[in-house]
Amino acid sequence: MTIYRGGCLCGAVRYECTEAPINERVCHCRLCQKAIGAAFNARLLFRIDDLKVTGKVNWFASSEAIDRGSCPECGTPLFSRRNAGGVIGVTSATLDDPALFKPDMHIWVSSKQPWVQLEDGMAAYEEGPPA
């Protein structure tokens, strides 16, 4: 069994999940770019109830559907949560072992930065993934 563990830069927030991710994707939308402060958000999606979080998290409603969570101490962007769907995204670089991240697609490539080249052979969708 794989255990997904990670946390913020300063260690004030930690998380753990023993369930497999629902999906693992690279999102290039502008909301993710701004929230993460990078060209894309590489994230693993879990059920909210399966992810155990310790420490205080600052939550911000970045849209009607998504709340973003970060560490109040060091500012590390950690989570993107969809309460209505019961799911939470975890930024892959915050994993203790980031090599556990195994993405299978790029989404919202219509907003991809022009200098990002998608040469990894993964599926790429102009907007969201197929239903």
pLDDT of residue 39: 96
pLDDT, tens digit (0-9, with 9 covering 90-100), for 66-99: 999 999 999 999 999 999 999 999 999 999 999 9
pLDDT of residue 130: 87
pLDDT, tens digit (0-9, with 9 covering 90-100), for 17-63: 999 999 999 999 999 999 999 999 999 999 999 999 999 999 999 99
- Are 94 and 43 contacting, i.e. CB atoms less than 8 angstroms apart? no
| pTM of the full structure | 0.92
pLDDT of residue 1: 86
Domain covering 23-113: architecture:
Alpha-Beta Complex (3.90)
Tokens 């770019």 sit on residue: 33
Round to whole Å and give the CA distance between 106 and 73. Answer: 31
pLDDT for 7 beyond 90: yes
Report residue 39 as tokens.
Answer: 């060209």
pLDDT of residue 128: 92
Average pLDDT for the chain: 96
CA-based torsion, 43, 22, 79, 67: positive or negative:
positive
Distance linking the first and last C-alpha atoms of the chain: 28
Cβ-based neighbour number of residue 1 at 10 Å: 5
pLDDT of residue 95: 98
